[in-house]
Structure 1
Amino acid sequence: MSPRPTGLLAAGAATVTVVLWASAFVSIRSAGAEYSPGALALGRLLAGALVLGVICALRREGWPPRAAWRGILVSGVLWFGLYMVALNWGEQQVDAGTAALVVNIAPILVALLGARLLGETTPPRLVAGMAVAFAGAVTVGLSMSGGGGSSLLGVALCLLAAVSCAGGVAAQKPALAHASALQMTTFGCLVGAAACLPFSGQLVSQAAHAPLPATLNMVYLGVFPTALAFTTWAYALARTTAGRMGATTYAVPALVVLMSWLALGEVPGALTLAGGALCLLGVAVSRSRPSARKAGGREVTPAPQADPEPASP
């Protein structure tokens, strides 16, 4: 496939990811009120694993190659398992501003790990865009804060979620050279669900008493923000750098503001809108490329290059 269609498909996949991840915040409000952090994570992962398993069986994807399993195991435990539990728990302990400040260091950590472990470059546009987007994310969080208190435990949990996310992405990126995006997501989700099995008793008990909307929201989280969005994420990640993909997630706070406005009737204030605009501006800057460079006194437009396709299993 030529570079341009590949780039457009990757951009489309990244867009699907951030839209669905933003929608997850609305669903978590309902499900999180009835399910404990571990039970919610396990239920979400089981729903996602079931859907992904059926799709894998229909497509006859088979088992991932041995070379991909290290990345699958690490990302499954860190990102699918530990991250989801820590984030669910942490956001119950801190106000929105603190959560935004701590959790949104994850894309910065992704860029740093990508440079350190994966040999990726950190161009000035990426650094500048991430700085602008991070400022926007914090502004959104502070403007939407309800004035609640923050506990040391909550801050630690949000920090653990950010570190787990970054570690999972760094482990996932090289594994995608050997496994498909669908394999990576399916088996990562299964590993995460296995890691969350200690919460199975809570899930069974709470599911028996939870209202139907909360359970349906948990299933939605598993099918769309997990099964679909993590697959489109892996597809896009295989075709760009971890740093640039991490920066893309800064669009999530802006989309959450818009979705809360449309779905919940929560009219955002001026500061919230300004923060959302900063998020989108930062993402645009971080994902932009120089249009031309000077060579021998002439303007030279670089030819588009696509990242190499992942090897077929």
Structure 2
Amino acid sequence: MRWAAPDIAPGPFALLRLVTASAVLSILLLVLRQRPIRPSPRVLLLTLTFGVLSFALYTLVFNWAGHFLDAGTVALIINFSPLMIGLGAVFFLGEAFSRRLFSGILTALLGIILIAVAGSLGHVAIVGLVLSFLAAVLYSAGVLVQKVVLRSIDPLATMWIGCLAATAALLPFTPQAVTAITAAPLSTILGAVYLGAGPTALGYLFWGYAMNHFSTGQLASSNLAVPALVVAASAMLLGETPPVLAIIGGAICLAGVGITQLRRPPQRLQE
């Protein structure tokens, strides 16, 4: 996304990505699905909401943030989302509020403050920080809605309906997308196709199946590996690295997320 940012606007890039994801999921649905999809009106509405939040709005804001910040800083901020998911699970899914969650929130907030200070010192763009944080909120809300939807319909159907809803929501960008296809470099268009087929269609599909086998908090903690990978790849491929203060803040923030995912060791039985 960061590599393609100079060549294409956030809206058209998001639409191209979602069109590709919808096409890939439609093919998978035709090949793998054996029964019709018949969600109740409530589940259908929740699935549409999931699609608009997780794909249309999140992808749009995520792309927009990439026009202001390096990829590593964006990844560091968005990975505040596991804490948001944990809080959302407490308030909306009835999960218990634990001391670990409270400690993790305080620790992660310290990290967010340091990243914000990096912005106030001019090391990173404040607009990019706000957009990245908004993307984290949208992502977290989408995960919580998806968790509820997966109680009623399978991941493939959830993803397919969600991607179609997101594509429809982004249709106002169609004229710009058509122009971008003819004006942008072929490599940028192929980048949008890759993001649609890989991280969006297959990545979110695998994520949906995993959500049926693990708790929301456990699964969200797997995102802790993302910032390190992004920072390393961004440095090698794009020549970009976050400012030192942002890296320190991001590390503290991830430590806070990690605290929330700690599990007590099983107690040994006395002989």
Scaled to the shorter chain, the TM-score interval is: 0.7 to 0.9
Matched residue, 2:176: 202
Identity over the aligned pairs, expressed in percent?
36
- Point out the more displaced range, 167-176 or 117-126: 117-126
Residue 112 of structure 1 is aligned with which of 79, 87, 92?
A: 87
Q: Does 1:221 align with 2:195?
A: yes
Deviation at 1:91, TM superposition (A): 3.5
Q: Per-residue displacement from partner, 1:125-154 (whole Å, max 9, x unpaired)?
A: 455566667767887898899834324xx5
Shift of 1:106: 2.6
* Letter in structure 2 aligned against 1:70: L
Q: CA deviation at 1:184?
A: 1.4
Equivalent positions of 1:93-104 (< 5 A) are 93=68, 99=74, 103-104=78-79
Whose RCO is larger (CA < 8 A, sep 6+)? Answer: 2
Q: How does 1:14-163 map to 2 (within 5 A)?
A: 28-67=1-40, 68-93=43-68, 99=74, 103-125=78-100, 128=103, 147-151=123-127, 154=128, 156-163=130-137
Q: Which residue of the partner structure matches residue 240 of structure 1?
A: 214
Distance 1:269 1:89 in 2: 20
CA distance in 2, matches of 1:108, 1:88: 22
Name the CA distance, whole Å, in 2 between partners of 1:159 and 1:272.
Answer: 14
> What's the secondary structure of 1:119's corresponding residue?
coil
Give the deviation of 1:169 after TM superposition.
Answer: 1.1
Q: Secondary structure at the match of 2:94?
A: coil
How many angstroms apart in 2 are the aligned matches of 1:261 and 1:98? 12
Deviation at 1:287, TM superposition (A): 3.9
CA displacement, residues 192-218 of structure 1 (integer Å, 9 cap, x when unaligned) = 111111111110001101111111111
Deviations 1:14-33 (A, max 9, x none): xxxxxxxxxxxxxx123222
The offset of 1:108, in angstroms, is 2.0
Is this contact kept in 1: 2:79–2:227, CA < 8 A?
A: no
What is residue 249 of structure 1 aligned with on the other side?
223
Pair 1:241–1:130, CA change in 2 (3 A):
farther
Distance 2:255 2:104 in 1: 7
Hey, what does 1:165 align to over in structure 2?
139
Q: Any idea what SS the aligned residue of 2:11 has?
A: helix
Structure 1 residues 134 and 217: CA distance shift in structure 2, 3 A: farther
Over 3 Å counting, the alpha-carbon distance change for 1:36 and 1:62 in structure 2 is farther
SS at match of 1:29: coil
| Distance (Å, rounded) in 1 between the aligned partners of 2:89 and 2:62 | 22
Aligned residues: 267
Q: 1:29 to 1:269 in 2, by over 3 A?
A: closer
Q: Which runs of 5+ in 2 are unaligned?
A: none
Which segment is superposed worse, 196-205 or 87-96? 87-96
Report the TM-score when normalising by structure 2: 0.80
| Structure 1 position 117, deviation (Å) | 0.9
More moved, 49-58 vs 84-93: 84-93
- Is 1:189 aligned to residue 153 of structure 2? no
Q: Output the CA distance in 1 between the equivalents of 2:209 and 2:138.
A: 20
The superposition leaves residues 17-63 of structure 1 with CA deviations (integer Å, 9 ceiling, x where unpaired) of xxxxxxxxxxx123222111111111001111111110110012544
Is the 2:217–2:261 contact (alpha carbons within 8 Å) kept by the matching residues of 1? no
Q: Distance in 2 between matches of 1:90 and 1:273?
A: 17
Residue identity in the other structure for 2:56: G
| Stretch of structure 1 that moved more, 76-85 or 105-114 | 105-114
Greater shift in the superposed pair: 124-133 or 101-110: 124-133
| TM-score in terms of structure 1 length | 0.71
Report deviation, 1:239. 2.1
Partner residue, 2:186: 212
